[in-house]
Structure 1
Amino acid sequence: MKHTTVQVQNLKCGGCANTISTQLSKLEGISNVMVNNDTYEVSFDHSSDQEFEVAKTKLSDLGYPMIGEANSLPKKAKSFVSCAVGRMTK
């Protein structure tokens, strides 16, 4: 099991963190998801590079691309939706 920490864009609040934790935890092979709003970090355990890539894609699809990746207007908009959903499901 590998432990990975990545920094993501558009992470604003506990709602964002809740959405990220919930959605990544649903992925097969991903566990121990932790989100730190202060450092924009998401950390999780995974078994393979393929599982890491799936998690990275999921983060981007939710509107939280990794730092250094393209952060288009649609991604920023998705992050606001993800944030709102995360606040409602707390």
Structure 2
Amino acid sequence: MEATIEIQNLKCGGCANTITTQLSKLNGISDVSVNNDTYEVRFNYNSEEEFETVKTKLSDLGYPIVGEQNSLPKKAKSFVSCAVGRITK
């Protein structure tokens, strides 16, 4: 199945690189792409459990789904994830 979800705190290619790298490591998740212009992440998954795992991972990285709480710690995590993504390009 394919999903497209809109996330918060997406700023640049560094963010996109971190998201793509981290989600691609998850079992059952494939074809991850990030669109910085629309703040969307697209990916393929096989089960509802895998979909929920992606949502949790995004939140843990500092990129909660639009509509979820976007606390200061999550915003700070997104800056760290962004920096890591820029370094590992």
Tell me which interval the TM-score lies in, with the shorter structure as reference length. over 0.9
Q: CA deviation at 1:83?
A: 0.0
Alpha-carbon distance in 2 for matches of 1:64, 1:31: 19
Write the distance in 2 (CA, Å) between the matches of 1:55 and 1:10: 16
Match of 2:3 in 1: 4
| CA RMSD across the alignment | 0.2
Report the Cα offset of residue 58 of structure 1: 0.1
Q: Give TM-score, length-normalised by structure 1.
A: 0.99
Partner of 1:40: 39
Alignment partner, residue 78 of structure 1 = 77
Instruction: For residue 4 of structure 1, report the CA deviation from its aligned partner.
Output: 0.0
Matched position secondary structure for 1:35: strand
Aligned residues: 89
TM-score when normalising by structure 2? 1.00
Answering whether residue 60 of structure 2 is matched by residue 64 of structure 1, we say no
Secondary structure at the counterpart of residue 86 of structure 1: helix
